[in-house]
Amino acid sequence: MIFNTFAYFVLFLLPGAWVFRQASPRWKPVVLALTGASFYVYFSLSAFGGTAGALCLGIFLWEALVSRLYRPGSHWCWFGIAQALAILFVFKYWNFAMSVLPGAGQPFRWAEAFLPLGISFFTFEFIHYAADRRQGKTEGGSLWEYLAFILFFPTMVAGPIKRYQDFLATLRLPSTDGARDFERGVTRILVGLAKKFAIADVMTAFTGHLNMTDIAQAPRWVLPLWLLAYGVQIYVDFSAYSDIAIGSSRLFGLQVKENFDWPYLRTNIAEFWRHWHMSLTRWLTDYVFVPLGGSRVASGRIYLNVLATLLVSGLWHGAGWNYLIWGLWHGVALVIHRWWAARRVADKAGPASQVGSWLLTFITVNLGWAWFAMDHRTAFAFFQRLLFLD
């Protein structure tokens, strides 16, 4: 986790926020862009070395140059979307695709593959900007404003996934209440760090057992407890990242939207997704579900659109069969919920019904984490033991 390192706070966040606040409006985007580029080079060099680090930064510079060609209705926007997806595919999915395609074999796979930091997050921001420019939903902004958007380091590697329109508004009119912003920003950062260290990291003592050997040897009653611990860990981990990113943004006087809103308290799977990783859900809705036809088509087609959208969500999280199955798991759950909600007679649900709905949603979500926590073979073994099928 980059956000809990000494370098993040001392080399980039605090100096960057101070310089940004001192800079004139004209130079604020430049400060953000250069600080973000330095951040990305520093951590890419630490992770991959010089050549790979330079290549990673080159992705951003290339995208920035291409973005200057975008106009409402322009075919260059389609090119921008295609090249962003191609870059993501080469780095993240090439080896997985070669393992799936018959006859591809080892010679066609990356021998020393590496995954650029945050590529899944910034690729979605690339696509969003190109799609919205084509539809005339956002202005182009200056080159430095666009670079500030894509290189804004608090959200670069772990989200939330930003929208250019929202970011441009807060960049051009940031908060000037430095004392209040510092208090709220530091408080939010400390909350995120506490969640990370005191809860998420503690849960790894249990989630580390989700492997083939331990699953085969453990008592059955322990298995759901391990999976429940993983459900706690992943929620606290993900929301802690968002807390630190939102708090860090506040130090600059910038607003970043909330990303989690107590998703485990929701009483159906649709509400869970409206409150879990909300920036991702909104992105998938706007740029996958709606272009496929959304809810404006026949019910059977709607179900296919839901399944396709959640499969994209699964694949976005990782290149593996387990992530596709996880996406399918949630897609099927959403289809069942939509089908049931369309046929249920409207009534006022009582407390017992609400509790039952919450429990069913909670169990569905947490069982689904098996596909996220383990490769598909290990997850199958987990369910075999859990359901007395071994």
Residue range 339-368, pLDDT digits in tens: 988 877 555 567 888 899 999 999 999 999
Does 226 have pLDDT greater than 90? yes
Burial class (CB within 10 angstroms; exposed 0-12, middle 13-18, buried 19+) of 273:
buried
Average pLDDT over the chain, rounded to an integer? 92
Question: Which of 37-51, 100-114, 312-326 is predicted with the least confidence, judged by mean pLDDT?
Answer: 100-114
70: confidence class by pLDDT, cuts 50, 70, 90 = very high
Residue 231 pLDDT > 90 = yes
Residue 347: predicted pLDDT:
55
Q: What are the pLDDT digits (tens) for 93-128?
A: 988 888 877 665 555 666 556 788 889 999 999 999
Instruction: State residue 246's pLDDT score.
Output: 97
- pLDDT category, 251, cuts 50, 70, 90? very high
Q: What is the pLDDT of residue 159?
A: 80
Residue 77: is its pLDDT beyond 60?
yes
> Would you state the pLDDT for residue 351?
82
Please give the pLDDT value at position 100: 79
Segment 53-69 mean pLDDT? 88
What value does the mean pLDDT take over residues 76-84? 96
What gap in Å lies between CA 41 and CA 33, rounded to an integer? 12
**What are the residue ranges spanned by the domains of the chain?**
2-174, 183-386
Least confident interval from 40-54, 75-89, 324-338: 40-54
pLDDT at 157: 87
Mean pLDDT of 193-200: 95
Q: 72 near 134, Cβ under 8 Å?
A: yes
Note the pLDDT of residue 348: 59
pLDDT for res 349:
66
Query: What pLDDT sits at residue 50?
Result: 63
pLDDT of residue 224 exceeding 80, the answer is yes
What pLDDT does 56 receive? 80
Q: Is the pLDDT of residue 318 over 90?
A: yes
